Structure 1
């Protein structure tokens, strides 16, 4: 029990501390550079958690997904394209991870949901920005995002943890795109984007780590 507290809970607690507090300081006068690292620390500590709690190859993969997410969180504050590139790398690694853990039997309705998720997400992303020169880029990015979520939904990882977490990630990014369009004059994106994203990442990493530890017959105290 003591070892579990030392090895795992501090990283989750630190992640929660940075993740929750960032929501309240993100629009403050906190110095930009410090705020950027504060933001990155929230998911960054999830990467550390994954590394410390899962010692197999899949554990390294999900840690890499979280690490690229943390880099994306920080880079997006400097350059939107650089941040998107980091997230795309993370999505590709996640797709690889989910491809290694396919669900043996998937209901027809669940398969159809996963299949439709990709074109629907891409269409919504494409349709949202008022500046139509941004539409194609958002659609291309959302392809990687939606495939990641569809693969998570049909993987052998817990659907109501990992699958839901991936869908929350999708919703968060769609709110970012909506902020470029019909929601740009409203406070809704500012209230929704970070909670959906952070909770989604938290559910993904904890669901995967818990599953991997069960597969290795490692107790989860």
Structure 2
């Protein structure tokens, strides 16, 4: 990335990092609920601004929308788990469209198998975690969409060590949320792990997609 571009656009990533890292330390503080929700949402909202500024073409717009919907989900989930999940479900649908537009031309059998495993095991694990919960259908259905997002990310032309890994971290983070809600995981443990994994996932995804688009804007 050119030096000038770094000086002009790094602030959005730095602001995101500042909000994301600091939120981890204040999440359980006595700060007012509304302010804390804004603080939380700002972390990924700044990633959406970064994607808007640095992305190119329709794919750049799509990744910006993914991040914006993620920020909306971050805020909504503090009010209602289902509402937050709906925001993330919309984000996953847009992400799937993005990744399908950018599938790798050559996809080895091993990578297809890895993608299939992500698509299958995400909802399977969600069902195992929540099968005794009255809302297990919603959780499993959401996880199926999450798994499809991760599978298509894995098969896309975007770097697997960033976008693919980010999608996997997203799965882990959401499974931890389900585990905490279902009572199968100590909420204190979940609290320490969920936000770092989730934020790292979003950061890896957006930077991996945007930097790829700047080098090679279209698939092929």
Asked whether the two chains share a fold, i.e. TM above 0.5, the reply is: yes
Query: What corresponds to 2:44 in structure 1?
Result: 43
Query: What corresponds to 2:214 in structure 1?
Result: 213
TM-score (norm 2): 0.94
5+ residue gaps, structure 2, are none
Kept in 2, the 8 Å contact 1:61–1:93? The answer is yes
- Distance in 2, matches of 1:130 and 1:27, equals 29
Q: How many residues align?
A: 217
Secondary structure at the counterpart of residue 128 of structure 1: helix
Matches within 5 A, 1:68-79: 68-79=69-80
Is 1:104 aligned with 2:143? no
Query: What corresponds to 2:146 in structure 1?
Result: 145
Kept in 1, the 8 Å contact 2:127–2:136? The answer is yes
Matches within 5 A, 1:10-49: 10-49=11-50
- Distance in 1, matches of 2:93 and 2:120, equals 18
CA shift, 1:187, in A, is 2.0
Describe the shift of the 1:83–1:182 C-alpha distance in structure 2 as closer, same or farther (beyond 3 A).
Answer: closer
Kept in 1, the 8 Å contact 2:100–2:156? The answer is yes
Kept in 2, the 8 Å contact 1:130–1:180? The answer is no
Q: Deviations over 1:116-137 (max 9, x none)?
A: 2222111111121374212111
- Distance in 2, matches of 1:89 and 1:3, equals 35
Query: What corresponds to 1:81 in structure 2?
Result: 82
5+ residue gaps, structure 1, are none
Secondary structure at the counterpart of residue 69 of structure 1: helix
CA shift, 1:4, in A, is 1.8
- Distance in 1, matches of 2:124 and 2:79, equals 27
Alignment RMSD (CA, Å): 1.6
Q: Deviations over 1:131-177 (max 9, x none)?
A: 42121110011111110000000101001110000100010000001
CA shift, 1:188, in A, is 1.5
Aligned structure 1 segments of 4 or more residues deviating by more than 4 angstroms = none
